[in-house]
Structure 1
Amino acid sequence: MRRLGFWIRSSSIAAAVLALVGCAMNAQQPPQGTAASHLDAVQKAGVLRICTPGDYKPFSFQKTDASYEGIDVDLMTSFSGSLNAKPEWIKTTWANLLPDLAAGKCDLAVGGVSVTTERQKRAFFSAPYMVNGKTPIARCADVAKYQSVAAIDKPEVRVIFNPGGSNERFARANFKRAKLTMHGENVTIFDEILANRADVFVTEAAEAITQQKLKPGLCAVNPDKPLQYGEMAWMLPRDDIAFKAYVDQWLHLAQAGGEFQRVMDRWLK
Protein backbone atom coordinates (compact mmCIF):
# COMPACT_ATOMS: atom_id res chain seq x y z
CA MET A 1 0.00 0.00 0.00
CA ARG A 2 2.86 2.38 0.82
CA ARG A 3 4.46 1.60 -2.55
CA LEU A 4 1.19 2.38 -4.31
CA GLY A 5 0.88 5.70 -2.47
CA PHE A 6 4.48 6.57 -3.33
CA TRP A 7 3.85 5.72 -6.99
CA ILE A 8 0.71 7.89 -7.08
CA ARG A 9 2.56 10.82 -5.52
CA SER A 10 5.54 10.36 -7.87
CA SER A 11 3.27 10.12 -10.88
CA SER A 12 1.46 13.30 -9.83
CA ILE A 13 4.74 15.17 -9.44
CA ALA A 14 5.97 13.91 -12.81
CA ALA A 15 2.71 14.94 -14.47
CA ALA A 16 2.95 18.37 -12.91
CA VAL A 17 6.54 18.79 -14.10
CA LEU A 18 5.59 17.72 -17.63
CA ALA A 19 2.67 20.14 -17.60
CA LEU A 20 4.97 22.99 -16.57
CA VAL A 21 7.47 22.08 -19.27
CA GLY A 22 4.67 21.97 -21.83
CA CYS A 23 3.41 25.38 -20.75
CA ALA A 24 6.89 26.83 -21.00
CA MET A 25 7.33 25.43 -24.50
CA ASN A 26 3.94 26.73 -25.56
CA ALA A 27 4.74 30.16 -24.14
CA GLN A 28 7.69 30.38 -26.53
CA GLN A 29 5.42 29.84 -29.51
CA PRO A 30 2.64 32.19 -30.64
CA PRO A 31 -0.83 30.68 -30.20
CA GLN A 32 -2.25 28.97 -33.25
CA GLY A 33 -4.00 31.49 -35.46
CA THR A 34 -2.12 34.44 -33.96
CA ALA A 35 -0.09 36.50 -36.41
CA ALA A 36 3.52 37.32 -35.61
CA SER A 37 4.16 40.83 -34.37
CA HIS A 38 5.04 43.56 -36.85
CA LEU A 39 7.97 44.24 -34.53
CA ASP A 40 9.58 40.97 -35.64
CA ALA A 41 8.42 41.17 -39.25
CA VAL A 42 9.87 44.65 -39.81
CA GLN A 43 13.25 43.71 -38.38
CA LYS A 44 13.36 40.57 -40.48
CA ALA A 45 12.38 42.36 -43.69
CA GLY A 46 14.49 45.44 -43.03
CA VAL A 47 11.59 47.58 -44.28
CA LEU A 48 8.96 49.59 -42.41
CA ARG A 49 5.86 50.10 -44.57
CA ILE A 50 4.15 53.39 -43.75
CA CYS A 51 0.73 54.41 -45.08
CA THR A 52 0.12 58.15 -45.44
CA PRO A 53 -2.13 60.40 -47.52
CA GLY A 54 0.83 62.77 -47.95
CA ASP A 55 -1.33 65.87 -48.29
CA TYR A 56 -1.24 67.30 -44.79
CA LYS A 57 1.36 69.91 -43.92
CA PRO A 58 3.23 70.01 -41.58
CA PHE A 59 2.87 66.27 -40.82
CA SER A 60 3.33 64.48 -44.15
CA PHE A 61 3.46 66.02 -47.59
CA GLN A 62 4.42 64.42 -50.91
CA LYS A 63 6.59 66.74 -52.99
CA THR A 64 6.69 66.97 -56.78
CA ASP A 65 9.61 64.53 -56.91
CA ALA A 66 7.42 61.95 -55.06
CA SER A 67 9.49 62.16 -51.87
CA TYR A 68 7.90 63.06 -48.55
CA GLU A 69 8.58 65.70 -45.91
CA GLY A 70 7.11 66.76 -42.58
CA ILE A 71 6.98 66.04 -38.86
CA ASP A 72 5.88 62.42 -39.19
CA VAL A 73 8.31 61.83 -42.04
CA ASP A 74 11.29 62.91 -39.91
CA LEU A 75 10.09 60.91 -36.92
CA MET A 76 9.37 57.79 -38.96
CA THR A 77 12.81 57.95 -40.56
CA SER A 78 14.39 57.90 -37.12
CA PHE A 79 11.97 55.26 -35.84
CA SER A 80 12.76 52.99 -38.80
CA GLY A 81 16.45 53.28 -38.00
CA SER A 82 15.82 52.00 -34.48
CA LEU A 83 14.60 48.76 -36.09
CA ASN A 84 17.47 48.63 -38.61
CA ALA A 85 14.85 49.14 -41.32
CA LYS A 86 14.26 51.57 -44.15
CA PRO A 87 10.98 53.49 -44.45
CA GLU A 88 8.79 52.58 -47.41
CA TRP A 89 6.06 55.15 -48.00
CA ILE A 90 2.72 53.85 -49.25
CA LYS A 91 0.45 56.50 -50.70
CA THR A 92 -3.20 56.30 -49.64
CA THR A 93 -6.16 58.59 -49.02
CA TRP A 94 -7.92 59.61 -45.81
CA ALA A 95 -10.90 57.46 -46.76
CA ASN A 96 -8.65 54.42 -47.30
CA LEU A 97 -6.12 55.01 -44.52
CA LEU A 98 -7.79 52.74 -41.96
CA PRO A 99 -8.90 50.06 -44.47
CA ASP A 100 -5.36 49.86 -45.90
CA LEU A 101 -3.88 49.44 -42.43
CA ALA A 102 -6.48 46.83 -41.47
CA ALA A 103 -5.80 44.94 -44.73
CA GLY A 104 -2.09 44.65 -43.87
CA LYS A 105 -0.84 46.92 -46.65
CA CYS A 106 1.36 48.76 -44.15
CA ASP A 107 2.82 48.40 -40.67
CA LEU A 108 1.47 51.70 -39.38
CA ALA A 109 -0.30 54.83 -40.61
CA VAL A 110 0.83 58.42 -40.06
CA GLY A 111 0.44 61.91 -41.47
CA GLY A 112 -1.55 63.98 -38.98
CA VAL A 113 -3.95 61.26 -37.80
CA SER A 114 -6.54 62.38 -35.24
CA VAL A 115 -7.35 60.00 -32.40
CA THR A 116 -11.03 59.02 -32.56
CA THR A 117 -13.10 56.32 -30.91
CA GLU A 118 -14.35 55.18 -34.32
CA ARG A 119 -10.80 54.50 -35.49
CA GLN A 120 -9.98 52.94 -32.11
CA LYS A 121 -12.60 50.26 -32.81
CA ARG A 122 -10.47 48.91 -35.68
CA ALA A 123 -6.93 49.91 -34.79
CA PHE A 124 -4.52 50.71 -31.99
CA PHE A 125 -3.07 54.17 -31.48
CA SER A 126 0.35 55.08 -30.24
CA ALA A 127 0.58 57.34 -27.21
CA PRO A 128 -0.63 60.79 -28.38
CA TYR A 129 2.24 63.11 -29.27
CA MET A 130 0.33 66.38 -29.80
CA VAL A 131 -2.81 68.17 -28.67
CA ASN A 132 -4.24 69.58 -31.89
CA GLY A 133 -7.88 70.65 -31.81
CA LYS A 134 -10.25 71.68 -34.60
CA THR A 135 -9.63 75.26 -35.76
CA PRO A 136 -11.29 77.31 -38.50
CA ILE A 137 -9.24 79.01 -41.19
CA ALA A 138 -10.75 81.82 -43.24
CA ARG A 139 -9.87 84.97 -45.15
CA CYS A 140 -8.15 87.32 -42.71
CA ALA A 141 -10.77 90.01 -43.30
CA ASP A 142 -13.50 87.61 -42.10
CA VAL A 143 -11.89 86.19 -38.95
CA ALA A 144 -14.17 88.18 -36.63
CA LYS A 145 -17.21 86.56 -38.26
CA TYR A 146 -16.25 82.96 -37.46
CA GLN A 147 -15.41 82.85 -33.77
CA SER A 148 -17.63 79.90 -32.87
CA VAL A 149 -19.52 76.93 -34.28
CA ALA A 150 -22.78 78.91 -34.02
CA ALA A 151 -21.27 81.84 -35.93
CA ILE A 152 -20.14 79.51 -38.73
CA ASP A 153 -23.34 77.47 -38.88
CA LYS A 154 -25.44 79.97 -40.82
CA PRO A 155 -27.14 79.49 -44.22
CA GLU A 156 -24.99 82.15 -45.91
CA VAL A 157 -21.67 80.59 -44.79
CA ARG A 158 -19.92 78.25 -47.23
CA VAL A 159 -18.05 75.56 -45.31
CA ILE A 160 -15.62 73.41 -47.27
CA PHE A 161 -14.14 70.09 -46.10
CA ASN A 162 -11.99 67.24 -47.32
CA PRO A 163 -13.48 63.72 -47.40
CA GLY A 164 -12.80 60.61 -45.38
CA GLY A 165 -11.34 61.90 -42.14
CA SER A 166 -12.14 63.74 -38.92
CA ASN A 167 -12.57 67.06 -40.76
CA GLU A 168 -15.55 65.68 -42.67
CA ARG A 169 -17.03 64.15 -39.53
CA PHE A 170 -16.69 67.45 -37.65
CA ALA A 171 -18.28 69.46 -40.45
CA ARG A 172 -21.24 67.13 -40.88
CA ALA A 173 -21.82 66.82 -37.13
CA ASN A 174 -21.63 70.52 -36.31
CA PHE A 175 -22.83 72.47 -39.35
CA LYS A 176 -26.50 71.78 -40.06
CA ARG A 177 -27.47 75.12 -41.59
CA ALA A 178 -24.28 76.22 -43.37
CA LYS A 179 -23.72 75.27 -46.99
CA LEU A 180 -21.35 72.28 -47.03
CA THR A 181 -19.05 71.53 -49.95
CA MET A 182 -16.76 68.52 -50.24
CA HIS A 183 -13.40 69.17 -51.89
CA GLY A 184 -11.34 66.12 -52.79
CA GLU A 185 -7.92 67.80 -52.89
CA ASN A 186 -6.59 68.68 -49.46
CA VAL A 187 -3.62 70.46 -51.08
CA THR A 188 -5.83 72.95 -52.97
CA ILE A 189 -8.68 73.32 -50.50
CA PHE A 190 -7.17 76.52 -49.07
CA ASP A 191 -7.08 78.11 -52.51
CA GLU A 192 -10.87 77.75 -52.66
CA ILE A 193 -11.17 80.15 -49.73
CA LEU A 194 -8.73 82.62 -51.22
CA ALA A 195 -10.67 82.51 -54.50
CA ASN A 196 -13.89 83.27 -52.59
CA ARG A 197 -15.50 79.98 -53.59
CA ALA A 198 -15.69 78.99 -49.91
CA ASP A 199 -15.59 80.85 -46.60
CA VAL A 200 -14.35 78.49 -43.89
CA PHE A 201 -12.40 75.26 -43.56
CA VAL A 202 -12.15 73.61 -40.13
CA THR A 203 -9.03 71.52 -39.64
CA GLU A 204 -6.40 70.92 -36.94
CA ALA A 205 -4.66 73.94 -35.38
CA ALA A 206 -1.21 72.90 -36.61
CA GLU A 207 -2.36 72.78 -40.23
CA ALA A 208 -4.24 76.06 -39.93
CA ILE A 209 -1.13 77.76 -38.51
CA THR A 210 1.07 76.27 -41.23
CA GLN A 211 -1.26 77.28 -44.06
CA GLN A 212 -1.65 80.87 -42.90
CA LYS A 213 2.13 81.16 -43.30
CA LEU A 214 2.03 79.61 -46.76
CA LYS A 215 -1.10 81.37 -48.01
CA PRO A 216 -1.05 85.15 -47.43
CA GLY A 217 -4.60 86.34 -46.94
CA LEU A 218 -5.66 83.33 -44.85
CA CYS A 219 -5.75 83.39 -41.04
CA ALA A 220 -6.26 80.70 -38.43
CA VAL A 221 -9.13 81.59 -36.09
CA ASN A 222 -8.06 81.31 -32.45
CA PRO A 223 -5.76 78.28 -32.91
CA ASP A 224 -4.89 78.44 -29.21
CA LYS A 225 -8.59 77.96 -28.37
CA PRO A 226 -9.84 75.25 -30.74
CA LEU A 227 -13.50 74.49 -31.33
CA GLN A 228 -12.97 70.88 -30.29
CA TYR A 229 -10.23 69.14 -28.31
CA GLY A 230 -8.14 66.74 -30.34
CA GLU A 231 -5.01 64.60 -30.16
CA MET A 232 -2.64 63.34 -32.84
CA ALA A 233 -1.05 59.89 -32.81
CA TRP A 234 0.16 57.13 -35.11
CA MET A 235 -2.31 54.41 -36.05
CA LEU A 236 -1.14 50.83 -35.47
CA PRO A 237 -2.47 47.35 -36.29
CA ARG A 238 -5.08 46.21 -33.80
CA ASP A 239 -4.11 43.57 -31.21
CA ASP A 240 -0.35 43.84 -31.89
CA ILE A 241 0.58 44.62 -28.29
CA ALA A 242 4.31 44.02 -28.73
CA PHE A 243 4.55 46.49 -31.61
CA LYS A 244 2.52 49.15 -29.78
CA ALA A 245 4.71 48.78 -26.68
CA TYR A 246 7.84 49.32 -28.77
CA VAL A 247 6.40 52.33 -30.61
CA ASP A 248 5.31 53.95 -27.34
CA GLN A 249 8.68 53.35 -25.70
CA TRP A 250 10.57 54.77 -28.69
CA LEU A 251 8.33 57.84 -28.70
CA HIS A 252 8.83 58.33 -24.95
CA LEU A 253 12.61 58.19 -25.30
CA ALA A 254 12.55 60.55 -28.31
CA GLN A 255 10.56 63.05 -26.28
CA ALA A 256 12.70 62.70 -23.16
CA GLY A 257 15.95 62.93 -25.13
CA GLY A 258 15.02 66.05 -27.08
CA GLU A 259 14.86 64.56 -30.59
CA PHE A 260 11.08 64.91 -30.75
CA GLN A 261 11.15 68.60 -29.82
CA ARG A 262 13.87 69.34 -32.36
CA VAL A 263 11.64 67.92 -35.09
CA MET A 264 8.66 69.92 -33.86
CA ASP A 265 10.69 73.11 -33.75
CA ARG A 266 11.90 72.55 -37.29
CA TRP A 267 8.36 72.45 -38.68
CA LEU A 268 6.28 74.58 -36.34
CA LYS A 269 8.56 77.51 -35.47
Structure 2
Amino acid sequence: MRSAVFSALVVLVGFAAACSSTTPATTAGLQHVLHSGVVRVCSTGDYRPFTHRSASGDWSGLDIDMAHDMAARMGVRLDLEPTTWANLIGDLDTKCDVAMGGISITLKRATQAVYSAPYLRDGKAAIVRCADVWKFQTLGDIDRPGVRVVVNPGGTNADFDGERLHNAQVVTYPDNNTIFGQLTGNAADVMITDASEIRWETSQDRQLCGVSLDHPFTFEQKAYLVPRSASGLQQWIDQWLNIAQHDGTYAVLSQKYLGAVIGP
Protein backbone atom coordinates (compact mmCIF):
# COMPACT_ATOMS: atom_id res chain seq x y z
CA MET A 1 0.00 0.00 0.00
CA ARG A 2 2.79 2.41 0.96
CA SER A 3 4.65 1.70 -2.28
CA ALA A 4 1.50 2.43 -4.29
CA VAL A 5 1.03 5.73 -2.48
CA PHE A 6 4.68 6.63 -3.04
CA SER A 7 4.45 5.82 -6.76
CA ALA A 8 1.33 7.94 -7.09
CA LEU A 9 3.02 10.87 -5.37
CA VAL A 10 6.08 10.67 -7.58
CA VAL A 11 3.88 10.62 -10.70
CA LEU A 12 1.90 13.63 -9.46
CA VAL A 13 5.05 15.59 -8.64
CA GLY A 14 6.58 14.73 -12.00
CA PHE A 15 3.41 15.77 -13.80
CA ALA A 16 3.25 19.08 -11.90
CA ALA A 17 6.90 19.77 -12.63
CA ALA A 18 6.43 19.05 -16.34
CA CYS A 19 3.35 21.24 -16.58
CA SER A 20 5.15 24.18 -14.97
CA SER A 21 8.22 23.71 -17.23
CA THR A 22 10.60 23.65 -14.28
CA THR A 23 14.30 23.19 -14.81
CA PRO A 24 16.14 20.15 -13.44
CA ALA A 25 17.57 22.32 -10.64
CA THR A 26 14.11 22.86 -9.14
CA THR A 27 13.71 19.14 -8.39
CA ALA A 28 17.21 18.71 -6.97
CA GLY A 29 15.90 18.51 -3.41
CA LEU A 30 13.53 15.62 -4.14
CA GLN A 31 16.01 13.69 -6.25
CA HIS A 32 18.76 14.14 -3.66
CA VAL A 33 16.51 12.68 -0.96
CA LEU A 34 15.46 9.73 -3.11
CA HIS A 35 18.98 8.91 -4.26
CA SER A 36 20.57 9.33 -0.83
CA GLY A 37 17.86 7.30 0.91
CA VAL A 38 17.68 9.87 3.73
CA VAL A 39 15.42 12.86 4.42
CA ARG A 40 16.97 15.31 6.86
CA VAL A 41 14.41 17.19 8.95
CA CYS A 42 15.36 20.21 11.04
CA SER A 43 13.30 20.76 14.20
CA THR A 44 13.76 22.92 17.30
CA GLY A 45 12.68 20.22 19.75
CA ASP A 46 11.32 22.86 22.14
CA TYR A 47 7.76 23.49 21.01
CA ARG A 48 5.18 21.08 22.35
CA PRO A 49 2.91 19.60 21.19
CA PHE A 50 4.62 19.77 17.77
CA THR A 51 8.23 18.95 18.59
CA HIS A 52 10.12 17.95 21.73
CA ARG A 53 13.64 16.62 22.24
CA SER A 54 14.35 15.16 25.66
CA ALA A 55 17.64 15.48 27.52
CA SER A 56 18.48 11.96 26.36
CA GLY A 57 17.91 12.95 22.72
CA ASP A 58 14.55 11.26 22.18
CA TRP A 59 12.13 13.09 19.88
CA SER A 60 8.34 13.28 20.14
CA GLY A 61 5.43 15.45 18.99
CA LEU A 62 2.80 15.81 16.30
CA ASP A 63 5.22 16.97 13.62
CA ILE A 64 7.83 14.41 14.62
CA ASP A 65 5.23 11.68 14.04
CA MET A 66 4.30 13.34 10.75
CA ALA A 67 7.97 13.39 9.75
CA HIS A 68 8.19 9.65 10.40
CA ASP A 69 5.10 9.08 8.24
CA MET A 70 6.54 11.27 5.47
CA ALA A 71 9.83 9.36 5.44
CA ALA A 72 8.06 5.99 5.48
CA ARG A 73 5.88 6.89 2.50
CA MET A 74 8.91 8.26 0.70
CA GLY A 75 10.76 5.03 1.37
CA VAL A 76 13.78 6.69 2.99
CA ARG A 77 15.34 6.96 6.44
CA LEU A 78 14.49 9.92 8.67
CA ASP A 79 17.33 11.94 10.22
CA LEU A 80 16.20 14.55 12.77
CA GLU A 81 18.53 17.53 13.08
CA PRO A 82 18.21 19.90 16.08
CA THR A 83 18.04 23.61 15.29
CA THR A 84 16.89 26.83 16.96
CA TRP A 85 14.28 29.37 15.92
CA ALA A 86 16.96 31.98 15.30
CA ASN A 87 18.99 29.59 13.08
CA LEU A 88 16.06 27.85 11.38
CA ILE A 89 16.49 29.35 7.91
CA GLY A 90 20.28 29.09 7.92
CA ASP A 91 20.19 25.44 8.97
CA LEU A 92 17.52 24.68 6.37
CA ASP A 93 19.81 25.99 3.66
CA THR A 94 22.89 24.12 4.87
CA LYS A 95 22.05 20.84 6.62
CA CYS A 96 18.37 19.98 6.14
CA ASP A 97 15.90 19.10 3.41
CA VAL A 98 12.80 20.12 5.38
CA ALA A 99 12.04 22.06 8.57
CA MET A 100 9.11 20.78 10.67
CA GLY A 101 7.79 21.56 14.14
CA GLY A 102 4.94 24.03 14.55
CA ILE A 103 6.40 26.57 12.12
CA SER A 104 4.10 29.55 11.53
CA ILE A 105 3.71 31.00 8.06
CA THR A 106 5.18 34.51 7.94
CA LEU A 107 5.88 36.80 5.01
CA LYS A 108 9.46 37.26 6.21
CA ARG A 109 10.18 33.52 6.15
CA ALA A 110 8.41 33.26 2.80
CA THR A 111 11.11 35.50 1.29
CA GLN A 112 13.80 33.10 2.50
CA ALA A 113 12.27 29.65 1.99
CA VAL A 114 9.22 27.92 0.50
CA TYR A 115 6.25 26.73 2.53
CA SER A 116 4.22 23.60 2.04
CA ALA A 117 0.45 23.86 1.99
CA PRO A 118 -0.79 24.82 5.49
CA TYR A 119 -2.01 21.99 7.71
CA LEU A 120 -3.24 23.79 10.86
CA ARG A 121 -4.80 27.15 11.73
CA ASP A 122 -3.58 28.98 14.82
CA GLY A 123 -3.10 32.42 16.39
CA LYS A 124 -1.39 34.24 19.22
CA ALA A 125 -3.09 34.15 22.64
CA ALA A 126 -1.98 34.52 26.25
CA ILE A 127 -1.18 32.02 28.98
CA VAL A 128 -1.21 33.14 32.63
CA ARG A 129 -1.57 31.75 36.13
CA CYS A 130 -5.20 30.70 36.57
CA ALA A 131 -5.45 32.89 39.67
CA ASP A 132 -4.67 35.94 37.47
CA VAL A 133 -6.99 35.29 34.53
CA TRP A 134 -9.30 38.11 35.62
CA LYS A 135 -6.42 40.60 35.31
CA PHE A 136 -5.57 39.82 31.69
CA GLN A 137 -8.74 39.59 29.63
CA THR A 138 -7.49 41.68 26.68
CA LEU A 139 -4.22 42.66 25.04
CA GLY A 140 -4.70 46.09 26.58
CA ASP A 141 -4.78 44.49 30.04
CA ILE A 142 -1.45 42.83 29.26
CA ASP A 143 0.29 45.84 27.73
CA ARG A 144 0.52 47.85 30.95
CA PRO A 145 3.49 49.08 33.00
CA GLY A 146 4.49 46.55 35.61
CA VAL A 147 3.25 43.50 33.67
CA ARG A 148 6.09 41.04 32.98
CA VAL A 149 5.76 39.24 29.64
CA VAL A 150 8.19 36.36 29.15
CA VAL A 151 9.26 35.39 25.62
CA ASN A 152 11.53 32.90 23.87
CA PRO A 153 13.93 34.59 21.42
CA GLY A 154 14.12 34.30 17.65
CA GLY A 155 10.57 33.30 16.68
CA THR A 156 7.14 34.76 15.99
CA ASN A 157 6.41 35.21 19.72
CA ALA A 158 9.29 37.68 19.94
CA ASP A 159 8.12 39.37 16.74
CA PHE A 160 4.61 39.79 18.17
CA ASP A 161 5.85 41.23 21.47
CA GLY A 162 8.18 43.64 19.69
CA GLU A 163 5.43 44.92 17.42
CA ARG A 164 2.41 44.92 19.73
CA LEU A 165 3.66 45.52 23.29
CA HIS A 166 4.76 49.07 24.14
CA ASN A 167 4.27 49.41 27.90
CA ALA A 168 4.69 45.94 29.42
CA GLN A 169 8.11 44.67 30.46
CA VAL A 170 9.25 42.01 27.98
CA VAL A 171 11.64 39.51 29.56
CA THR A 172 13.62 37.15 27.30
CA TYR A 173 14.04 33.58 28.51
CA PRO A 174 16.22 31.28 26.36
CA ASP A 175 14.82 27.79 27.08
CA ASN A 176 11.38 27.22 25.56
CA ASN A 177 11.18 23.77 27.17
CA THR A 178 11.10 25.28 30.68
CA ILE A 179 9.73 28.76 29.98
CA PHE A 180 6.30 28.09 31.47
CA GLY A 181 7.96 27.59 34.84
CA GLN A 182 8.57 31.34 34.77
CA LEU A 183 4.82 31.78 35.12
CA THR A 184 4.21 29.17 37.81
CA GLY A 185 7.29 30.40 39.69
CA ASN A 186 6.00 34.00 39.58
CA ALA A 187 9.05 35.24 37.67
CA ALA A 188 6.70 36.47 34.92
CA ASP A 189 2.98 37.23 34.60
CA VAL A 190 2.12 36.43 30.98
CA MET A 191 3.44 34.63 27.93
CA ILE A 192 2.00 35.26 24.47
CA THR A 193 2.33 32.26 22.20
CA ASP A 194 0.30 30.10 19.83
CA ALA A 195 -3.10 28.89 21.02
CA SER A 196 -2.14 25.31 20.09
CA GLU A 197 0.83 25.40 22.47
CA ILE A 198 -1.30 26.98 25.20
CA ARG A 199 -3.91 24.23 24.93
CA TRP A 200 -1.17 21.64 25.37
CA GLU A 201 0.52 23.37 28.31
CA THR A 202 -2.71 24.03 30.21
CA SER A 203 -3.63 20.36 29.84
CA GLN A 204 -0.30 19.45 31.47
CA ASP A 205 -0.28 22.06 34.28
CA ARG A 206 -3.57 22.98 35.95
CA GLN A 207 -1.98 26.11 37.48
CA LEU A 208 -1.98 27.70 34.03
CA CYS A 209 -4.93 28.99 31.99
CA GLY A 210 -5.35 30.39 28.50
CA VAL A 211 -6.77 33.77 27.52
CA SER A 212 -8.36 34.53 24.11
CA LEU A 213 -7.97 30.96 22.87
CA ASP A 214 -11.24 31.07 20.91
CA HIS A 215 -10.56 34.59 19.60
CA PRO A 216 -6.78 34.86 19.16
CA PHE A 217 -4.99 38.17 18.76
CA THR A 218 -3.78 37.10 15.29
CA PHE A 219 -4.56 34.67 12.48
CA GLU A 220 -1.78 32.19 11.72
CA GLN A 221 -1.27 28.85 9.99
CA LYS A 222 1.35 26.14 10.40
CA ALA A 223 3.23 24.62 7.48
CA TYR A 224 6.53 22.93 6.64
CA LEU A 225 9.55 24.72 5.16
CA VAL A 226 11.83 23.63 2.31
CA PRO A 227 14.70 25.48 0.58
CA ARG A 228 13.64 27.80 -2.25
CA SER A 229 15.53 25.65 -4.77
CA ALA A 230 13.58 22.49 -3.87
CA SER A 231 10.20 23.03 -5.54
CA GLY A 232 10.01 19.35 -6.52
CA LEU A 233 10.27 18.35 -2.87
CA GLN A 234 7.71 20.99 -1.94
CA GLN A 235 5.25 19.54 -4.48
CA TRP A 236 5.80 16.02 -3.15
CA ILE A 237 5.19 17.19 0.43
CA ASP A 238 1.98 18.95 -0.64
CA GLN A 239 0.68 15.75 -2.22
CA TRP A 240 1.68 13.70 0.84
CA LEU A 241 -0.04 16.20 3.15
CA ASN A 242 -3.20 16.07 1.07
CA ILE A 243 -3.29 12.27 1.35
CA ALA A 244 -2.44 12.28 5.09
CA GLN A 245 -5.27 14.76 5.73
CA HIS A 246 -7.79 12.54 3.95
CA ASP A 247 -6.77 9.01 4.96
CA GLY A 248 -7.01 9.60 8.72
CA THR A 249 -3.28 9.89 9.45
CA TYR A 250 -3.32 13.57 10.39
CA ALA A 251 -6.69 13.32 12.18
CA VAL A 252 -5.36 10.66 14.57
CA LEU A 253 -2.27 12.72 15.42
CA SER A 254 -4.20 15.97 15.79
CA GLN A 255 -6.63 14.29 18.18
CA LYS A 256 -3.72 12.79 20.14
CA TYR A 257 -1.72 15.98 20.55
CA LEU A 258 -4.28 18.79 20.27
CA GLY A 259 -7.38 17.13 21.68
CA ALA A 260 -9.31 17.82 18.50
CA VAL A 261 -8.91 17.59 14.73
CA ILE A 262 -7.74 21.08 13.79
CA GLY A 263 -7.21 21.74 10.10
CA PRO A 264 -5.96 24.68 8.08
TM-score, length-normalised on structure 1?
0.86
Report whether the alignment pairs 1:192 with 2:182.
yes
**Partner of 1:51: helix, strand, or coil?**
strand
Report whether the alignment pairs 1:58 with 2:25.
no
Report whether the alignment pairs 1:69 with 2:60.
yes
Paired residues in the alignment total 239
Higher Cα radius of gyration: 1
* Aligned ranges 1:235-246 → 2 under 5 Å: 235-246=225-236
Q: Which runs of 5+ in 1 are unaligned?
A: 1-26
**After TM superposition, where is structure 1 displaced by more than 4 Å over at least 4 residues in a row?**
none
Q: Which runs of 5+ in 2 are unaligned?
A: 1-20, 260-264
Give the Cα separation in 1 of the matches to 2:100 and 2:210. 23
**58-67 or 162-171, which moves further after superposition?**
58-67
Give the Cα separation in 1 of the matches to 2:169 and 2:22. 58
Hey, what does 1:130 align to over in structure 2?
A: 120
Hey, what does 2:197 align to over in structure 1?
A: 207
Once the two structures are TM-superposed, the CA of residue 242 in structure 1 deviates from its matched residue by 1.2
Match among 253, 256, 263 for residue 266 of structure 1: 256
Tell me if structure 1 keeps the 8 A contact 2:51–2:101.
yes
Tell me if structure 1 keeps the 8 A contact 2:26–2:232.
no
Give the Cα separation in 2 of the matches to 1:236 and 1:145. 41
1:138-160 deviation digits (Å, cap 9, x = unpaired): 00011122222211100111011
Give the Cα separation in 1 of the matches to 2:124 and 2:212. 10
1:101-150 deviation digits (Å, cap 9, x = unpaired): 12x21001111101000000000001110001001000001112222221
Report whether the alignment pairs 1:94 with 2:78.
no
Once the two structures are TM-superposed, the CA of residue 36 in structure 1 deviates from its matched residue by 5.0
* Aligned ranges 1:1-269 → 2 under 5 Å: 30=24, 34=25, 37-102=28-93, 104-269=94-259
Once the two structures are TM-superposed, the CA of residue 240 in structure 1 deviates from its matched residue by 2.0
Once the two structures are TM-superposed, the CA of residue 239 in structure 1 deviates from its matched residue by 3.4
Label 1:78 to 1:201 Cα distance change in 2 as closer, same or farther (>3 A). same
TM-score, length-normalised on structure 2?
0.87
State the percentage of identical aligned residues. 36
